């Protein structure tokens, strides 16, 4: 084990603030494949490449530029993490989730996290989306393994309602209003980087999964550990292996994710506009953590 998470967060925040000033925002967003364009819409944006921030793991996947962007979006102060790293790139899980813990340290209370996923539920179709109701962790690890620093969160965080109910309902209502087909279901997070076999997709379905991807769950565990509210959104880019005759290609995943971008950004914008004060309340624990950390 290297430097502790709290020490790493503190050092990273010091460097971010030396570049960008007094960064604070109640809303954080993690942009998955195809949604990077949202970061270009941030007003009064100040951004910093991950490569300038100490301890942050760097992404090696094409289309996953690593960058932190702070500014205003649809009237709200936001911090956007454009690009993410995955465990399959070889990073330990406690480093994969460091950007999320950084958001908590910067006062983020509500985390909106997006990804591209394969449909396991045969009623779903590519191009549609799914609000994550619950998840299955098949990463083969947990980011909270090791020493628990109580300043970040409890040793045994509750995961009964990992994905905030009010945020889910708001998102589904807005999707309906906008004429988007958005399901609500269970996201299974696997290690990758190989796509699943048809037998594995069958197993995931028996386990209750509706969609499968290679990210998000470690980040959500870290966010819940710190007490953030989480909204998880999957863009369904393909049917899971063996559902239909097609083989899976990352290029196809990127193309479909790109086609769904405009609708997804509009949906997330309408959610952000409607977050009530309960979602951005100032007495939130993450805020408290900020004071503890600095």
Task: Give the binding site for ligand HPA (CB under 6 A).
Answer: 116-118, 195-196, 212-214, 237-238, 240, 248, 253
88 is catalytic: yes
Cα angle: 94, vertex 168, 27; to 5 degrees:
55
47 carries an active-site annotation: no
Q: Is 135 a catalytic residue?
A: no
Q: Smallest distance from the beta carbon of 268 to ligand HPA, in angstroms?
A: 19
Closer residue to ligand HPA (CB): 87 or 225: 87
Pairing of strands 67-73, 129-138: unpaired
Both tokens of 138, joined, read: 């098949």
Helix (H) or strand (E) holding 281: none
DSSP classification of residue 246:
P
Nearer to ligand HPA, 71 or 263 (CB): 263
Choice among 129, 215, 219, 279 that is catalytic: 215
CA atoms within 13 A on the CB side of 244: 16
Q: Is 124 a catalytic residue?
A: no
64 is annotated as an active-site residue = yes
The catalytically annotated residue of 250, 266, 269, 270 is 250
- Closest separation in Å from C-beta 247 to ligand HPA: 11
Let me know if 246 is a catalytic residue: no
Active-site entry in 12, 25, 214, 228: 214
Alpha carbon distances (Å) from 2 to 95, 148, 162 = 10, 14, 29
The single residue of 238, 257, 260, 289 carrying the catalytic annotation is: 238
Measured from the CB atom, is 55 or 88 closer to ligand HPA?
Answer: 88
Q: Are the C-beta atoms of residues 6 and 89 closer than 8 Å to each other?
A: no
Minimum CB distance to ligand HPA, residue 26 (Å): 29
Residue 65: Cβ-neighbour burial (10 angstroms; 0-12, 13-18, 19+): middle
Of 274, 286, 232, nearest to 109 by C-alpha is 286
Q: One of 4, 11, 19, 88 is an active-site residue; which one? A: 88
Output the residue with the shortest Cβ distance to ligand HPA: 118
Is 214 labeled as catalytic in the residue annotation?
yes
Cβ neighbours, 10 Å, residue 254? 16
Q: Which residues are catalytic?
A: 33, 64, 86, 88-89, 116, 214-215, 238, 250
């Amino acid at each position: 084990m290297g430097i502790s998470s709290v020490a790493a967060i503190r050092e990273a925040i010091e460097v971010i603030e030396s570049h960008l000033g007094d960064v604070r925002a109640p809303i954080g967003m993690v942009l998955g494949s195809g949604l990077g364009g949202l970061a270009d819409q941030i007003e009064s944006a100040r951004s910093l490449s991950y490569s300038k921030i100490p301890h942050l793991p760097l992404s090696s996947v094409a289309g996953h530029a690593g960058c932190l962007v702070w500014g205003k979006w649809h009237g709200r102060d936001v911090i956007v993490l454009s690009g993410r790293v995955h465990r399959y790139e070889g990073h330990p899980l406690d480093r994969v989730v460091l950007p999320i813990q950084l958001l908590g340290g910067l006062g983020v209370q509500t985390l909106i996290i997006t990804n591209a996923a394969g449909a396991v539920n045969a009623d779903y179709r590519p191009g549609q989306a799914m609000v994550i109701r619950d998840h299955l962790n098949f990463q083969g690890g947990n980011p909270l393994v090791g020493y628990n620093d109580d300043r970040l969160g409890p040793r045994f965080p509750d995961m009964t309602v990992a994905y905030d109910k009010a945020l889910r309902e708001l998102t589904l209502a807005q999707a309906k209003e906008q004429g988007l087909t958005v399901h609500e279901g269970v996201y299974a997070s696997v290690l990758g980087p190989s796509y699943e076999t048809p037998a594995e997709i069958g197993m995931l379905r028996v386990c209750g999964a509706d969609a499968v991807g290679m990210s998000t769950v470690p980040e959500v565990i870290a966010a819940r550990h710190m007490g953030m509210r989480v909204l998880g959104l999957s863009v369904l880019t393909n049917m899971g292996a063996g559902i239909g005759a097609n083989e899976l290609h990352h290029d196809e995943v990127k193309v479909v994710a790109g086609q769904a971008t405009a609708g997804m950004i509009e949906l997330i914008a309408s959610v952000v506009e409607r977050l009530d004060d309960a979602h951005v309340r100032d007495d939130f624990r993450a805020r408290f953590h900020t004071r503890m950390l600095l």
